[in-house]
Each structure stands twice: as structure tokens, then as C-alpha cells.
Structure 1
Amino acid sequence: MELRRRLRLGALACAVSLQMFAGMPAWAADSTLTLGSQETITSGAILKNYVWTTTRNDKPISVNANVIEVDLTNPNVKIDAMAGTNNQFTKNQSVLGMVKDTGAVAGVNGDFFNTTAEGVPEGAQITNGKVMATPAKISGLYSFAITKDNQPIVDIFDFQGTVTAKDGTSFELGGVNKTFYWDDDGNPLIADGLFLYTDAWAMTQRAVDGIHVPTEALVVNDVVKEIQIDTNVKMAAPANGYILRGSGLAKDFIVNHLKVGDKITTKYDMIPHDASKNYDWKSFKMLIGGSTLLVDEAKPSYFTRNVNDFNGYQPRSRTAIGYSQDKKTAYIITADNNGSSKGMTLPELQEFMIQAGVWRGMVLDGGGSTQLVSRPLGEFTPQLTNKTEYGNQRAVANGVGVYSLAPKGELKGLILKGQNVLFKNESSTYQFNAYDDYYNPVDITNIIPQWTSSSSVGTFKDNVFTATQIGKTQITAKSGKGTASMDVEVVGRDQINAMTFAAGGFSLTAGNDFKLPIKVTTKSGLTKELPPAAADWELSGIQGSIKDGVLHVDSTAGSQSAQVIARYDGYSTMVTLPVGQEKVWYDLDHASVLTNAFQVPAEVVSNVKIAQDKGNKNIELSYDFTKGTGTKAAYARFDADNGGVTIAGEPEFISANIFGDGSFNWVRAEFIDANGDQQLRSFTENMNWTGWKKVTANISDLKFPVKLKSIYVANPANGQDERAAKGKINFDDVSFIYKGEMAALPKSQVMMTVNKKQVSVNDKAMTLEQAPTIIDGNTLIPIRFVTEALGGNVKWDDAERKVTITRGDKMIDLWIDNPDLIVNGQRVTAEVAPRIMNNLSMVPLRLISEKLGWKVGWEPEKQGITLE
């Protein structure tokens, strides 16, 4: 269940007192908060990016968290609440959309909301001093507010209200702009409740639960204009009026006591739950609702709500808000659950907030709703800053926005954007933004900066810098008072520590393309992809071509493997790729097996049928997950009577063409391994595409032989409301990819003796021009003779005095009198540098043998060496 609840709220109020101690986290003394970076958003608002590390389940984890600090004493900035589209409820949209709509410079998602109702916040909201919604009559729900004096408040507000008819009869008002919900005792308040709706509610229907029939009255300037019995008023409320909605006893009040033309009186109040406090809520600048209190006086608070309902003890993406002890700073917080960032439990969030400076604070909606948007310094357009839990930007009911109130200032500075590490002959376009005295963006249309470079490693043409030499420089853009500089390094062979292919393991098949990205790591630790055009490429073993870093295989006939070599500035790397075979197992046009539908749980509806797409037959698997509980799945089962189909051999991958439906559901393959155990492998755990797409899953770790039992769509229980409940996928061309065997190296043996020219190769006596010798405790051997005798190849580059050795999937570059060697793209350093003796290249035996995979035997008494 996602953090935004389905609002069966009456059940949630149970045993708050029991959580007083359960909510108190065990303080993690080993947690560390590290500031990664910070940037001014506007005058009075700073975005800080943190990495929070701790130990969870005896394992170290880290979380990326963002904090917007707003200076409440700065007159150039304000915090306000946002809602839906055009600041109206029932028109939910992403936080980015709300920020753009309202002209904010930053924002996060706001209150919890009912995902099955019209899309309005659970709690209260005041935007720009206007009441948008009032608190729900549920205990333990906190709100964050800013007073007219810019003082922050985190507290509980209760609602009281009445509607008085012309005849003097009064009826209790349930709230303003509320959807259907349940009170602390589980009673549906809409059953006999009277609710008020303003022009902030955009829909013409109000609080539709499918059970309680509304009776409504339109009131304009406090005068009843229209009454609709057992139906709704067919309009949204006007700006100068409101609509009263009643069911049960409230309907009786409308029917029996209100008449068209009557003047009525409506009054309501939001009062502090703590009777000792007194707030003038009518003068509040803003207010946003939330849920449980998290931090009180810089200490973890007990939880004021049952947080199990929104996964409080599970690591999820989180959103929170609070303020400092001196009430001068507001903190708007998000923490990410995405990739290497492992999210936070609520106890962990409490700890983080305290370390970040929060004195008092509360939770906002989170999980898939967590979104932080900010405007980068110097830019006009805000953008999503955090990584959302499911990779998408959810439409939410409301949010908290940060707004600049500053006047237009003078140009203060420039910001350069572009690459700071380049390769020789690489060109890079550098751009700039500008900002004023208040850190708001400046239009750069008429700003033409002067571009300069501090050294001659490259040249500028307009704002394009082309690296021509290896070295370092500082590029600078200057216009008036605005100046910005950036250090740029043009790296060459001497600055590289590693250059490796990053494509991963795969087998080559004829007719296909294979991307061969190369990652370069410098000695300073920076990693960057090498532009394909910067490399010199070699291909051997198969017929094909390499263009723009993509290998196209024309033919693999007679080949067991291929070698691809890439060189940059004399630095080389090689990858050896086995020639494999992709075998189509399931193709409706040629080969298939009996396929049936299945579902879990029983309430799920699934169906399998044969479909056609441009004459190509495929399987259509439709699903309906609207009923049942827990994880739900719809299966296409193969040869169900026999528990699946046995797959020949030991394939590395299963592949299929999937026509996705953009549902964010999972698509998986179900296997039965050699032990009879079920094994599940995911094609995707986020089906975010539509149309055909080829997907693969690694099955190399299975215990073979295996049976393929099914391909299925799954909607796991956790986060279920994030995914579509109905849809269909199509699949075809289910294939298995088998890895080819690498060519075996020849089995040869070389026997040598230190300081003796006589050697034996496969028991055949031969004589060397230069005997093996020991220098500084290292045995040096004549590399060409030994390598070729053991089935390798040696090339000599006279201009660079370089030796290149290849043997199987190993390659070594070494330079005479240089102890640095390049082994399969990795720089290593020998104790003794290679050298020339009697016009032969002599290299250290121990290092070379380790890197080429030779087996070395040593007979110390006679100083005999055996290589094989």
C-alpha cells in the first residue's frame, strides 16, 4: 500500500497511545550526515544535497536526501501551499506541473490523499491566505502553517462549524472541500454529514462514494439559489458562493429548513487541539496538512498516527517539513528510495531531520508521491531534482511551494555548463546562464560573453572548445560583472589508469548489432565514456564492421570468438567475445506449445489468446487485478499438464519480444530448476513502455536442466496502487541464447634455464640469442620467443619501442625502459622495466606469466623454468 492512503481512516486511529513507545527509534549512533553540495535557489532559499549513511539489518546503507532551507526572515522569499491544476482540487498533477503553474521556484508534494476518491487532501490547506480545505475529524493529524508574522507552526487543528437556516435551525458542518472518509470510530462521516464546497473544488460532483446519494444546495452571497434533492447541483461553486452537500440527517436539514431565496449563515473555525494555544488562523499566510508528528524539540516524537498504514517501518521515499529552534528557518525535506539510495523508515527519517537541524517537524505524503522540484541557479525552468521511487512523476493533490518575491536585480554572476574532462580532438559546446543580485535568472539573449582559455591545449570558436593537445586549461566566460571559470583537462595516455569495455558479457550472433561502450578512468579517479570517434578500432575473428562504437556482425561462419581492440593515444584495451547462438523456442508462426491462462489469487481475471500484428501471430495475455488481495499475477502457462517445457542445454539468457502497455507492472518468466524448485526471473520490474520491445533475462545461474513453466504479468502487493489494475501485453519470439565456446589455447611447454641459451619447446631442443637473466631479483625472459612458442602473438612498434602481446583473451602493451604495462586496459607497474638485450625484448617473467595465464614451474637448485 502506498503512502497516500485509501482513507479507511477510522481504522487507523486505533491505539495511538500504544505507538508512543513503538514510534521511538533506537538511535543509530553510527549514522553520518554528509553534505554533498548546495546551491542557492533564490534569495533566502538554499537547496542542500545530503548523503545519509547508517546501518540497517547489520548492513551499511546510504540514502540521498535533499533539504530546502528557507530563511523566514528574508522578505524576498515565501512558502505557500499549492493545489492540483490552477490551484484547484480534483485536478491532480505532478509537483513539477504545480510549480510551473504557480510560478514557484521549488516545491515538494504535500498532504496524504484518497487515491480512490476525487483527489483532495486529507487535511487542511490555506493558500495565499485563502482557506482551500479544513481539517478532517481524525485524531493525530498535524499541519504546518506560517503566521502573518512569518512564524512557523506545526500543530493539530480541530474543525468546528455550523450552518444556520433562516428559521433559526442549525446543523453541524462537517468540513470544507472534503471527500468521503471515516472518523476515528470507523463511521462514514458523509452518511449524515453536511459539507461545504467552494470554487477550489473543480468537479461538479462532490464526495461520491457510490453509496450515499447527495442532496445539494447552491448558496450565492449567503442566499440559497438552488436545491437539488437526491442529486447534485450541476455546476462547480462560484467564487462568490458555495455548495452544501448533505446525506441522511443532513439531507433532512436541507429539505426541511432551507428554501430558495432564504438567507443563511455559515460559520466555521479551525482551533488548536491544545486548548492552551491560541492561533489566529484567519490571518495565516499558508497551511498544509500532513500526518504524524516526527520531531519535537529536536527529539524523536512518538507517532501520533498508526504509521503501519503507510509503511512507516519500511524504507521508502519520504517527504517531511519542519522548522528550526529559533523559528527563522523552515526545512522542506525529501529522501529517495531509488537505486543505490535505500530510502528511510520513519524512525530513520526522524534521526535525519534532527541531524539536518529540525526542531519540530512532521511527515508529508511519500513513497511514489515523493517529488522535489527546484529551479537550478541561473535557469528559468524548474526541474525534478530527486529520483522518484518508481521513476515517474505522480499526479498528487497538493504541495508546498517556495516563491521568490525579489525585485529584478543587476547581473551578479555567470554559470558555466560543459565537460571538464575531454579527450584529444574532442569538441565540447560550453553554455552559460546568468543570475542577478537576488539569485534569480537573467535573460542571456543579449549577453555575448568573451571566451578565453588559459593555455594552448585547445581553441575556441564562439562557445565551442576543441581540444588539440594533452594538458590542462581553465576556460573563462566574462560579461560585465559576471564571470565564470571552469577547469578542463585534456587527458592522454599518461593520465589514464584504466580503459575497459563496458558492454558486459554476451555472445555474438550474425546479423545483429552490439554496442561497445568504453569507459576510461583517469588517475584522478574520474570515469568517462570514450567517444567512439576518438578511438582506433580493430576487429578480428569474424566478419563485420565497427561504426560509432557499434559492432555489426555480418558473419560468424567458422569462428568461435572475435577480438575487438580499441586504442586511444596509444593506450589499448581488448575484449574477446564468444560467438553464440540464439535459438527461437516459441514463435506462433512456426513453433509453439499449448498455452493456457492461469491466475493468482483466484479473483484475478486472466485470458490468453492468439493475436495478430501485421500478419505476425503472437500471444495476447490480458489481466484484471481489480479484485483479490496481496500480490496478483496473470500467467501464460506452457504445457501445463506436464508442469512446463524442458529447455535444451544450458542457455545464458531468455529473450522475448514484449508489447508493453505502460502499466508499470512486472513481467517475469517462471522456471522449474533441476532440483524441482521454482525460479523467477524478471524481464522488467517497471513496464513503462508501450509497443514492441525486446527484453532479456539472465538465467545463467539456474541449475540445469530447467523447465520453462510460464511468462506472466505481476502486480506485487507493495506499491500496488502505483500500477495499472487492468491491461494486456503481447509476446512473441521467445528465444534462448547459448554461449559459444572459446577456442582452446594450444598445449605447449617451454623449458628454460637462467643464464643458458639452450631451451626445449615440446621436447624439441632450440637455442636462444639471449638467455633468461635475473636483474634486481626479477627473472627476465625473451618475450617473442616464449609467447609464440605458447600460442600467442607479438607485435613490435619501432616508433614507440612498444611490444604488444596477445594470447587468447589477454592483451599486454609494454614499452621498453618503462615499468608501466597495460594489461587488458588496466595500468600495472612492474618492479623491473622491460629492456633490450642483444636486440631482443626482455620482460619480467613473474608479471607477464600472471597476466597471460601461464603456468610457471621453478626448479631453484638448477634455476630451471617451465612454462605451459
Structure 2
Amino acid sequence: MRLHKKLGIGALVCALSLQVFAFAPSVSLAADSKLTISSEEIITSGALVKKYVWSTTRNKTTVTANASVIEVDLTNPNVKLDAMSGSGSEFTKKATVLEMTKNSGAVAGINGDFYNTQAEGVPIGPQITEGEILSTTSNLSGMYAFGITKDNVPVVDQFTFTGSLKAADGASFPLKGVNTTYYYDDNKVFSHQDAIYMYTSAWTQNNRSNDGTTKPTEVLVQNGIITKIAVNGVIPMVAPEDGYILRASGKGTDYVVQHLKEGDPLISNYEMKAKDAWKQYDVNNFKMMIGGSTLLVDEGKAMSYFTRDIGGIDGYRYRSRTAIGYSKNLKTAYLITVDNSGSSKGVNMVELQQIMVQAGVWRGMVLDGGGSTQMVARPLGEFDSKLVNKVENNYQRKVANGVGVYTLAPQGEVKGLTLKGQDELFIGETSSYQMKGYDEYYNPIASFDGIVMNWSSSAALGTFEGNAFTATKSGKTKLTAKSGKGSATIDVDVIGRDQISAMKINAGDISLSEGQSYKLPIMVTTKSGITREVPPQLISWELQGIGGEIGKDGVLRVTNLSGSQSAQLIARYDGYSTILTMPIGQEQLWYDLDTTGVKTTASKYPAEVVSAVNTDASTGNKNLKITYDFTLGTGTKAAYADFNDKYGAPITGEPQYIKVKVQGDESMNWLRAEFSDAAGKTHMVDLTQNINWKGWQQLTANLTDYNMKYPITIKKIYVVSPEQGQDERALKGEVRFDDVTFVYKGKLPSLPYSKVKLTVNKKTGILNNKSITLEQAPIITSGNTMIPIRFVTEALGGTVKWDEKERKVTILRGDKLIELWIGKTDIVVNGDRVTAEVAPRIANDMTLVPLRIISEKLGWKVGWEPVGQVITLE
């Protein structure tokens, strides 16, 4: 059988157990387990993706897992399945499934076979791509493979390999496999011991399964003639297109030494066939094949045993899973993934069996799972595939191979049009919309260039400029694009104040420091549950307590702390406000050489680097100079200023930032500080990744980004030139540093204490034991006590503002910001919308507000004496 000229399959898969024999499932399945479809979408003619939710009971608790199934109609001439390789035609190079589909032109796909993580990352089982054998079977029991025959009939079965070599003197020797990675068989015997394997040009590595267990002998054969023999050695090249390289060991080497000579012909024959001799598959003409592990489903039922031990593939735990199978009528192939990510709790092998059965699988097997599980598909009208499932740890692993779905359809007539763009906008936000289309075969239309689109909005909520819509009012609208080919619409929700349930400033738990900048994203949650960041240019800001500005980029730049203990940052969007009160950081100078410091010495990496540290007082202010020469040596190079002879200096408390004054040398090198924490973990803190200046600058690093466990120790500050991009940096130079300061979290100031006593329907009251007179007495409305907000707020150390146009009252006290509107029960407290039982009202030109909700939100303690209807606030 001929081999594919270029083998392209890179895979990183969970380690495969090499134990065999059948094991009965030892885990039970809940009787109420159910697979429920939630959505489906066509990928291309003959293929669609369905989304399911699997629900079951574990330990008396209901859990769910998200499953995705690609169904492929094997009778449809416009679609095909094939095995994908890792990177284009490179069989021995790993890739993510998304990369595989892009490189091979597939419109959808899943990850494929298992592989030995200790070997080259090549699939354990067989692979046939485009009718060409890329690798042959292993000699492991219970391993199944999925294939498609020349007649497009799906097969899930076990396959075996037979082959032989015949020398010029007539001596023969078994050929054990083609492009096969090493493994240990079921008897713990090294697969390549006393054997000969063939490697073609598809195997694009010089290393042909050498792990040191056996000593290889290699033979180069070109056009059927032996051209080179390396006894107990390797031939340092990839096999040529017109030949192959044999890898022999033990008895295989004896055969080479005794029977093969350079210049002699050599005949090779081999084939893959069904392990069951009664099954006469024409494997030579299979369209595709991919290996897997245990058989899971047969005749539409879960197997009562596993054909291979599933312990080695984590089969009894709840993980992400991948499987493949076909329908009873042999007309549909199923590509299946189940997620273990977020609220989706993954499945074990027994649950996977039930999902496969309920999805329609008649016969099917498991593929590699866990961190390897990936499914991608091309959305309708799109050209690029996207990840369908949610991968474990939010990481798309590079895997050995995959199963791809390919469209064979010609270009057809336009069938449908869609609009793509944002369906939620903020007032003032602009979004561009694109027309997408698909033809009668559900493949994307290549281009809409030159087509004039007429745009309209069902409600006057914005304006168009070309295909860009700018929202000007809140509400819901339907955008429509029309052309000579038809029309398409998209529903758009313009979010305004009335749609917001919460608005927050996401700054993290930090303290402010003079001269620093802080990103302040504003997150809005709507009443419908959607959460989005508001474009920063749409936010208006008010700063109190500090000097600085917040630009259109949403970054606060602190210029002056004004002696304050805290700053109030108020953000407003469409009349909806929120507040963030931030403490001012407390700075402690740790190292300046004039008044304080620790013993500092030089070290370097690697040994060829030249470095020194010296105290420099030439400018009248002592500082530390690091001199370095990175001319010699290879790899990453560094010159260190070590504190306390590499033992480091302990830092008190829990600092949030480190500040260092640095004189740069325009070298483009990096400057770092090294810390160790209480857990013994080392942290490399970047002060800058580009020393591109001369003169002095202050650098700051946020230590909270590194998740250190306090207390911490600073070990060194150093100049480093990472290996990558080294040719762009200076090899020699000197950098000075001074005034190493740590910034600690500040404390918010305590609010002034006041005590107020009021009586319903009386204008007289008591403030801090002094008699007072109110312009408006407290009253009771609909069972709720209403109080004059201006007097009470100011009496307790707050401020009140009135907006006549909006008929809105704004209350600010400490870290509390409350907004309320006359006649409306909705109240906004620190960005959260709450509802009062009664609305604020005006009496005698005074604003009265419901006592209970306002007092609770401002943090007051409220007392009520029914006899006499006396109110106390403190």
C-alpha cells in the first residue's frame, strides 16, 4: 500500500494506559439521566451541530453537562469526513483543532486519537487521510478505530498490521509497523525491541522513536535500493520522497547486518486488515481512519464492559470527553464532545455511553478527552470556524490529530442573508454591521463588495453613516439592510438608564499613589441580565479628594493627593451614577543608600556575563549602579544586584506596589525585581520590559498582580536580556536605581458621629443634644415615615444636591452615593438599583424620602418609639 508523502498530525493527548482486558463498569447511572436538545445550526450541506444539556443525579444532587454533537450525512455528496493532521502536511507536529481545520480547509472538527505523552506526540493508533496511510496500528489490545470505506460506509472496529521485508538473498523479516510511535505493549515490552519499523517522508523528525531503551540501526532505501546503512547508529535526515528509512534493533539489527548490503534491492510489503479474520474490509481503499480506545456503544446499547481498561484515561472521573460513532442505518456519523468547564460538570465513561445512545449512536468509541477535548465549527454565513465547546482550564491544547468535516459543494445560489454586529449598544456608541450570506449549500457567500446597502431602523434611536450605526436614544430597534439580493435584519437594544440594574467601577482592591495611573473599567448589568463594559468615552467623571483626570481611555492619572486620606470617584452614564471610594496609599521608603539600605552584591547569569554593582554619589545623591556586559554567553542573560548575599530582605506588612527611581541607558533591556513569598514561591516582577530612556524615571509595579502569599522577601533587582529579541538590545551598559519604596493599602477615614431625634408631624428636633427647628416635619405616608433629606443628611456629615431638570436628589456621605427621583420608587445606591415602597415627594418645597430604605443604605442606625412617634438616627 502506498503511503502519504507528507504526514501532518501533531497531538497532545492524555497519557494512554497500556493495560488491557475488559472491565465491567463499576459506576452507577441515575434513572432520571436525560439528554435534552437546546439548539441546532447548519454548518454546511450535509452537516449540522446540535447543542444538548445532559442532566443526571450524583450523590442525590442534580448536575448538568453541556454536550455538542456534529451530525454528518454520509449519503450527501457535498460533505465528507477525513482525518486531520496537526499542521498541514506535517504528521509529527501538534496543533489545536482550530488550527487543524484552518490548515486543512475543514469547516468543522473534533480532536482525535490518544498519544504517548512521553514520546513524539504522534497518535497511538492508525490514521488514513485522503485515502493515504499516515500511520499503522499499534499492538495494543482493545483499541478501536473509526473509518470510512470507499463506499462511504462507516466502520468502528479493531484493525491489525502485517508486513515483511525481503532481502536480495531471499531472507525475510517481519515489518512491525509504519510511522509508528514507541510504546510499551500489554506485556510491558518495548514496542521497538527486536523489531523493524518503516518511516516515510511523512515522519518529519530525525528522531524515529528513540528513547534509549534500544540501540537503533537505520537503513535508507530509495527507489527500492538500499543506499545507506548505519549499524548501531542513526541516519540524521528525514526520509526522502522516493524512499523510506528502516529503524531496527536487537534481532532486527541482526537481520540488517547479516542480509542487507548497500546497493542491494529490498522488497517491502504490508497491509492493514480487520483483526477479526471473518471481516473482509478493503482497508487499502478506505477513505479515512482514525484511532481511539475502548468501544463504548454497540447495537444502540451501552457496552456492559470496556474493551480496554479506562483507568488510564481517567474514565471513572468526571471530565471533558470526545467520542465518535454512527447510526443504525449507516447514514449518519456523530462527532461528540461533552464539557467539564464552569457549570458544565463533565461525565465519566458510563455517562458518556448514555449520551451517545440518546444522541443516536448505534456503534461508537471513545477518542481522547480531558484537556484535549475540542470541537470547532463554522457559523452559518461565516468563513472562519470557531470553538463550539468550552475547553478545560480555558486552554486549547495542541493535539495529535482530529476528525474534520469538509464541504465538497460547488458555489450555489443565494439562500439566506444575515447581519453581523453588536446587538447591544450604549447611547453614543457606534457599531459597524456586515452583511453575511450563505448559498443553497449553506456555504458562505464570498463577497458583498460593491453591493449598495440601504439601511433603516424601526425606531428613531440613532443614525447611520454607511454601515455604521450610532445610537442616540435608549430602547429597542430593528436594523434592516436591503440590497438587490434581499434583506437582513438584526434586533438591537440600546441600553439607557432605565435598562440598568447595576453599574460598578472595577478597579480592584488598591490604594492610590501620586504619579500613578489606574484603569477604571465601568461594568453595567442590565435588567435582562446582560453584563457589558461601557466604552470609556461615554462616561463622565467627577473626582473629589485628589488632583488628576480620567481620560477618554478610562485611565485615572493621579497628579496630586492634596493631603487627603481618600478619593471619591463618581462615574455617570445617561444620568445613572456609581461611586468608588479609594484610600490613599501609605508609602514607606525602604532603600535609598543615603539613610537606609541593605548589603548589596553583584551576581550574573550565565557565567560568561560580566557584571558589577557600585554605590555612586557623583550627583550628590547616593544611588546604586549596575554595570553589565552581555557580549558573551548564550540564552537569557542577567546582571543582578543581590540583597543580603542572595538571602534577600524581608518586607514588613502587605505592600501593594513597589516604586523604584531608575536612571535608564536606552539599552532596551528589561528591569526586574525578584521576590519570594511565604509559600516559598519565586516571583519575577517586571519593573519595565523596555529601558528606552535616559535620565531618571520612577517605575511602579503592582505586586497584587502576582498573587504573592505574605510576608514577602525582596531578593534582587536586576537588568535582564531575554533570549528572544536579544539582537535588538544593547549588550553593554549601566543602570542606576534609588529610592525603593513600598506602598501599603490606606484606610478610609471614619465618618463624623452625630445623633438626631425627630418626631412625626413636629418641626422641632434635637441634634447632638441641641434643639433645632426643621422647615418641614417628618410625616407618615402609606405606612412609611418620610423625613426631610437635606437636613438629616447634612446633620450626619453628608451633602445633598438637587437637579431641577431631572427632579433628582443626589446624596453623598462617605463612600455612599444615593440618587432618587421625585415620584419614582426606583433608587440607585452605589450603582445598584433598588425599589422603595413609596416614592420621594416634595412638601413645602422640601424633599421627603422614605426613612427606612435611605437610612439602611447610608448606614445609619434607626430607632423608633411608637409612643410619641419619635425617630432617632445615629
Tell me if structure 2 keeps the 8 A contact 1:81–1:287: yes
For structure 1, the residue ranges without an aligned partner over 5 or more in a row are 598-604, 621-635, 658-666, 672-678, 713-731
Task: Please name the residue that 1:739 is paired with.
Answer: 745
Task: Please name the residue that 1:69 is paired with.
Answer: 71
Counterpart pick for 1:648 among 646, 652, 663: 652
For structure 2, the residue ranges without an aligned partner over 5 or more in a row are 1-10, 615-623, 631-640, 661-673, 692-699, 717-736
Tell me if structure 2 keeps the 8 A contact 1:449–1:479: yes
How much has 1:109 moved relative to structure 2? Answer: 2.5
How much has 1:639 moved relative to structure 2? Answer: 8.3
Query: 2:556 aligned with 1:547, yes or no?
Result: no
Structure 2: distance between partners of 1:295 and 1:357: 10
Task: Please name the residue that 2:734 is paired with.
Answer: none
How much has 1:56 moved relative to structure 2? Answer: 6.0
Query: 2:311 aligned with 1:302, yes or no?
Result: no
Tell me if structure 2 keeps the 8 A contact 1:656–1:695: no
Letter in 1 for 2:790: R
Counterpart pick for 1:87 among 83, 86, 89: 89
How much has 1:76 moved relative to structure 2? Answer: 0.8
Structure 2: distance between partners of 1:700 and 1:213: 48
Structure 2: distance between partners of 1:610 and 1:588: 20
How much has 1:755 moved relative to structure 2? Answer: 1.3
Counterpart pick for 1:39 among 33, 38, 41: 41
Task: Please name the residue that 2:198 is paired with.
Answer: 196
Task: Please name the residue that 1:573 is paired with.
Answer: 578
Tell me if structure 2 keeps the 8 A contact 1:654–1:734: no
Task: Please name the residue that 1:631 is paired with.
Answer: none
Structure 2: distance between partners of 1:701 and 1:773: 55
Tell me if structure 1 keeps the 8 A contact 2:321–2:339: yes
Tell me if structure 1 keeps the 8 A contact 2:12–2:400: no
Task: Please name the residue that 2:539 is paired with.
Answer: 535
Query: 2:131 aligned with 1:129, yes or no?
Result: yes
Q: Do the aligned partners of residues 789 and 455 (structure 1) sit closer, same or farther apart at CA in structure 2, a change above 3 Å counting?
A: same
Letter in 2 for 1:558: G
Counterpart pick for 1:496 among 494, 500, 507: 500
Query: 2:252 aligned with 1:243, yes or no?
Result: no
Q: Do the aligned partners of residues 840 and 616 (structure 1) sit closer, same or farther apart at CA in structure 2, a change above 3 Å counting?
A: farther
Q: What does 1:150-161 align with in structure 2 at a 5 Å threshold?
A: 150-161=152-163
Q: What does 1:509-528 align with in structure 2 at a 5 Å threshold?
A: 509-528=513-532
Query: 2:380 aligned with 1:377, yes or no?
Result: yes
1:155-184 deviations in Å (ceiling 9; x for gaps): 221222222334443222211111332221
> Secondary structure of the residue that 2:158 maps to in structure 1?
strand
Q: TM-score, normalised by structure 1?
A: 0.82
Task: Please name the residue that 2:487 is paired with.
Answer: 483
How much has 1:638 moved relative to structure 2? Answer: 9.6
Counterpart pick for 2:453 among 443, 449, 454: 449
Letter in 2 for 1:165: A
Query: 2:179 aligned with 1:177, yes or no?
Result: yes
Structure 1: distance between partners of 2:33 and 2:135: 39
> Secondary structure of the residue that 2:441 maps to in structure 1?
coil
Structure 2: distance between partners of 1:366 and 1:588: 57
Q: Do the aligned partners of residues 799 and 203 (structure 1) sit closer, same or farther apart at CA in structure 2, a change above 3 Å counting?
A: closer
1:324-372 deviations in Å (ceiling 9; x for gaps): 3333222223344555555544444444434443333222233443333
Structure 1 stretch displaced more, 280-289 or 363-372: 363-372
Structure 2: distance between partners of 1:439 and 1:563: 55
Letter in 1 for 2:652: A
Task: Please name the residue that 1:849 is paired with.
Answer: 855
Structure 1 stretch displaced more, 785-794 or 523-532: 523-532
Task: Please name the residue that 1:463 is paired with.
Answer: 467
Task: Please name the residue that 2:822 is paired with.
Answer: 816
Q: TM-score, normalised by structure 2?
A: 0.82
Task: Please name the residue that 2:217 is paired with.
Answer: 215
Query: 2:793 aligned with 1:790, yes or no?
Result: no
Task: Please name the residue that 2:666 is paired with.
Answer: none
Q: Do the aligned partners of residues 165 and 434 (structure 1) sit closer, same or farther apart at CA in structure 2, a change above 3 Å counting?
A: same
Task: Please name the residue that 1:633 is paired with.
Answer: none
Q: What does 1:20-39 align with in structure 2 at a 5 Å threshold?
A: 20-21=23-24, 23-29=25-31, 33=35, 35-39=37-41
Q: Do the aligned partners of residues 593 and 855 (structure 1) sit closer, same or farther apart at CA in structure 2, a change above 3 Å counting?
A: farther
How much has 1:288 moved relative to structure 2? Answer: 0.5
Counterpart pick for 1:799 among 802, 805, 816: 805
Letter in 2 for 1:787: T
> Secondary structure of the residue that 2:790 maps to in structure 1?
helix
Tell me if structure 1 keeps the 8 A contact 2:656–2:745: no
Letter in 2 for 1:406: A
RMSD over aligned Cα, in angstroms?
4.0
Q: How many equivalent pairs are there? A: 794
1:590-617 deviations in Å (ceiling 9; x for gaps): 85689999xxxxxxx99x9999999669
Task: Please name the residue that 1:632 is paired with.
Answer: none
How much has 1:233 moved relative to structure 2? Answer: 4.6
Q: Do the aligned partners of residues 76 and 669 (structure 1) sit closer, same or farther apart at CA in structure 2, a change above 3 Å counting?
A: farther
Q: What does 1:309-458 align with in structure 2 at a 5 Å threshold?
A: 309-338=312-341, 341-389=344-392, 393-444=396-447, 445-458=449-462
How much has 1:53 moved relative to structure 2? Answer: 5.3
Structure 1: distance between partners of 2:332 and 2:612: 60
How much has 1:140 moved relative to structure 2? Answer: 1.7
Query: 2:870 aligned with 1:864, yes or no?
Result: yes
Query: 2:773 aligned with 1:767, yes or no?
Result: yes
Q: Do the aligned partners of residues 533 and 226 (structure 1) sit closer, same or farther apart at CA in structure 2, a change above 3 Å counting?
A: closer
Structure 2: distance between partners of 1:149 and 1:588: 82
Q: Do the aligned partners of residues 257 and 698 (structure 1) sit closer, same or farther apart at CA in structure 2, a change above 3 Å counting?
A: closer
Q: Do the aligned partners of residues 231 and 690 (structure 1) sit closer, same or farther apart at CA in structure 2, a change above 3 Å counting?
A: farther
How much has 1:310 moved relative to structure 2? Answer: 3.6
Structure 1 stretch displaced more, 852-861 or 577-586: 577-586
How much has 1:496 moved relative to structure 2? Answer: 2.0
1:739-792 deviations in Å (ceiling 9; x for gaps): 222121111111111111111111111122221111111111111111111111
How much has 1:92 moved relative to structure 2? Answer: 3.3
> Secondary structure of the residue that 1:441 maps to in structure 2?
coil
Q: Do the aligned partners of residues 609 and 333 (structure 1) sit closer, same or farther apart at CA in structure 2, a change above 3 Å counting?
A: farther
Counterpart pick for 1:831 among 837, 842, 847: 837
> Secondary structure of the residue that 2:160 maps to in structure 1?
strand
Letter in 2 for 1:458: G
How much has 1:709 moved relative to structure 2? Answer: 6.6
Tell me if structure 2 keeps the 8 A contact 1:84–1:93: yes
Letter in 2 for 1:485: T
Structure 2: distance between partners of 1:641 and 1:233: 47
How much has 1:397 moved relative to structure 2? Answer: 3.0
1:72-128 deviations in Å (ceiling 9; x for gaps): 221111111122334342233333333233221122332222344344221111111
Structure 1: distance between partners of 2:344 and 2:233: 50
Tell me if structure 2 keeps the 8 A contact 1:682–1:697: no
Tell me if structure 1 keeps the 8 A contact 2:65–2:339: yes
Letter in 1 for 2:865: E
Tell me if structure 2 keeps the 8 A contact 1:373–1:383: yes
Task: Please name the residue that 2:761 is paired with.
Answer: 755
> Secondary structure of the residue that 1:756 maps to in structure 2?
coil
Structure 1: distance between partners of 2:689 and 2:115: 29
Query: 2:4 aligned with 1:4, yes or no?
Result: no
How much has 1:854 moved relative to structure 2? Answer: 0.9
Counterpart pick for 1:560 among 562, 565, 586: 565
Percent identity, aligned pairs only, is 55
> Secondary structure of the residue that 1:13 maps to in structure 2?
coil
Structure 1 stretch displaced more, 571-580 or 92-101: 92-101
Structure 1: distance between partners of 2:136 and 2:283: 11
Structure 1 stretch displaced more, 347-356 or 508-517: 347-356
How much has 1:668 moved relative to structure 2? Answer: 9.4
Structure 2: distance between partners of 1:457 and 1:306: 62
Letter in 2 for 1:535: I
